[in-house]
Amino acid sequence: MSRVFVAQVVGLPVFGPDGESIGKIRDVVAVLRTDRTPPRVLGVVVELATRRRIFVPMLRVTSIDANAVTLATGSVNLRRFNQRPNEVLVVGQLLDARAVVVETGHPAMIVDAAMELTRTRDWVISRLAIRERTGRLSRRGPIQVRRWEELEPPGVTDLASAPQETTHLLSVFEGMRAADVATALRDLPVKRRYEVIDGLDDERLADVFEELSEDDQKDLLGHLDEERAADVLEAMDPDDAADLLAELPERDRLRFLELMERQESDPVRRLLAYSSDTAGGLMTPEPLVLMPDAPVAQALAMIRNPDITPALASMVFVCRPPSATPTGRYIGCVHVQRLLREPPSELVASVVDSELARLSPAASLNEVTRYFATYDLVCAPVVDENEHLLGAVTVDDVLDHLLPTGWRETNSEEPADA
């Protein structure tokens, strides 16, 4: 393609010359000029499988079509992308920015940008898709595509200071995993990052928070007003909320716990009572629990819930009432493979594994790690001395604590062949 709209490029897979997968396009980097000359496109931001974002110059791009982007032979620098002062992220900063239509003087909002290959083989932002605001009531007009020269677009200074809406940027984020949105947030300027989290609903923001580093979590939590921060903490998984609150000063921690609804704060308080490097501190207090007389069909329905992580869905725990943690007497567990082999009408009590070892809430991180290695599991029950199920530890929580601090931002600066 010689002209392509940026919103169509975002998310496209990137392949090397031999068809090897490199990653996905997440943004386009351009440099604005002081006059009305169309901005030159410098390159693209590519997200690798490791979620690290790197910069690939447009000179390396040999083709862009509706299904993929292909790179030329050579090396790709794996250094993490860092935006320079004169650069603009087209998706992250230019979408939702304000411009003025020269012909009418009406304000407009940028909803997309088209980049075009020139005769000199340079890519430029040649056109903008805008929604013009007309009349005294500032009604939004239909989307129209205008040449860059027909508009007075924002400058770098405006993008760094003027408030922006987030409608179109959030629509780009809509189909992305929470972990990918978290990575995108880290690459945005601080002002834009705050605008995005202000635009996300509480449930989505909670999912994104769980994928951020502790420093980023604390920074964004500090940006939110107390009431909304408490709502986001309520929407987070209790173990993730407890990990975040544990990093805050005691005064702030207690304040947020007071603002949270009682039914949401109680599990978090219980987790905070344990050291973060023990099974009690690592566990989630919301495992899948059934009574002994529940049929296999009910267990299968529970693990089909798309909101349950694969690790947590790998095992259903069977307990006497009550089913909320801490439960009644713990009987055992049923592995998902066993559930799939049994008739739906069979009772879970008849297929329960009562011999699997349990973890004590005081078990150390090393003990928990050995447990997973010994039994080849991704989920484990945490049971107290009175045979009450307190929660479950999943392998992802263990990995979070085994990896070095700041592993989410770790990057290699070595080039790789493409």
Range(s) of the domain holding residue 125:
1-200
Identify the segments of the chain with pLDDT beneath 70: 1, 134-140, 157, 405-418
Question: Beta 315-319 vs 289-290: how paired, if at all?
Answer: parallel
Residues 35-74 pLDDT 10s: 778 999 999 999 998 888 999 999 999 999 989 999 998 7
Sequence-ordered list of residues with C-beta below 8 angstroms from that of 5, at least 6 positions apart, any chain? 112, 113, 114, 115, 129
Is there a single domain that holds both residue 300 and residue 153?
no
Let me know if residue 103 belongs to a domain.
Answer: yes
Q: Which two tokens stand for residue 391?
A: 């929660």
Q: CA angle, 369 as apex, 375 and 216 as ends, to 5°?
A: 130
The CATH number of residue 312's host domain is 3.10.580.10
**Alpha-carbon distance 139 to 283, whole Å?**
51
The interaxial angle of helices 202-209 and 178-187, nearest 10 deg, is 80
- pLDDT the model gives residue 409: 58
CB of 10 within 8 A of CB of 27?
yes
Contacts of 123 (CB under 8 A, 6+ apart): 40, 41, 58, 115, 116, 117
Residue 182 lies inside a defined structural domain of this protein: yes
Cα(196)–Cα(206) distance, rounded to whole angstroms?
13
The whole-angstrom separation of Cα 273 and Cα 18 is 54
End residue of a domain, out of 200, 229, 250 = 200
Q: Is residue 382 part of a domain?
A: yes
| 282 CB-near residues (< 8 Å, 6+ apart) | 239, 276, 365, 368, 393, 397, 398, 401
The candidate with the shortest Cα–Cα distance to 6, out of 182, 166, 161, 169, is 169
Are both 160 and 36 inside the same structural domain? Answer: yes
The two three-digit tokens of residue 249, written as one number: 């000063």
Alpha-carbon span 225 to 259, nearest angstrom: 12
The answer to whether position 239 is within a domain reads no
21 assigned to some structural domain? yes
Q: How far apart are CA 180 and CA 202, in angstroms?
A: 17
Return d(Cα 397, Cα 372) in angstroms, integer: 12
Closest CA to 291 of 333, 321, 326, 325: 321
Q: Residues 37, 147: one domain?
A: yes
Distance between CA atoms of residues 238 and 283, nearest Å: 9
Residue 409 within any structural domain of the chain? no
- 3-state SS class at 315: strand
What pTM, to 2 d.p., does this model score?
0.81
Report which of 217, 38, 219, 12 is spatially closest to residue 122, judged by C-alpha positions.
38
Domain identity same for 53 and 163 = yes
Region at 53 (left for phi over 0; alpha for psi -120 to 50; beta for the rest): beta
Residue type, 301: A
Q: What are the start-end ranges of the H helices in 317-364?
A: 336-341
| Number of domains comprising the chain | 2
Q: Is the peptide bond preceding residue 322 cis, with omega within 30 degrees of 0?
A: yes
Single out the residue in 200, 228, 259 at which a domain terminates. 200
Task: Identify the CA nearest to 320 among candidates 344, 352, 343, 346.
Answer: 352
In a domain, 280, yes or no: no
Question: What is the structure's pLDDT at 412?
Answer: 46
Q: How far is CA 354 from the centre of its chain?
A: 37
Nearest to 417 by CA among 179, 78, 80, 124: 78
Is the domain of 39 the same as that of 185? Answer: yes
Do 190 and 76 share a structural domain?
yes
Residues 76 and 191 in one domain: yes
Give the residue carrying structure tokens 């020139």: 118
Please indicate, yes or no, whether residues 296 and 195 belong to a single structural domain of this protein: no
Q: Tokens in use for 228? A: 């909304």
Per-position DSSP letters for 167-228, written without gaps between them: HHHHHHHTTS-HHHHHHHHHHS-HHHHHHHHHHS-HHHHHHHHTTS-HHHHHHHHHHS-HHH
The b/e string for 391-413 (b: 16+ C-beta within 10 A; e otherwise) is bbbbbebbeeeeeeeeebeeeee
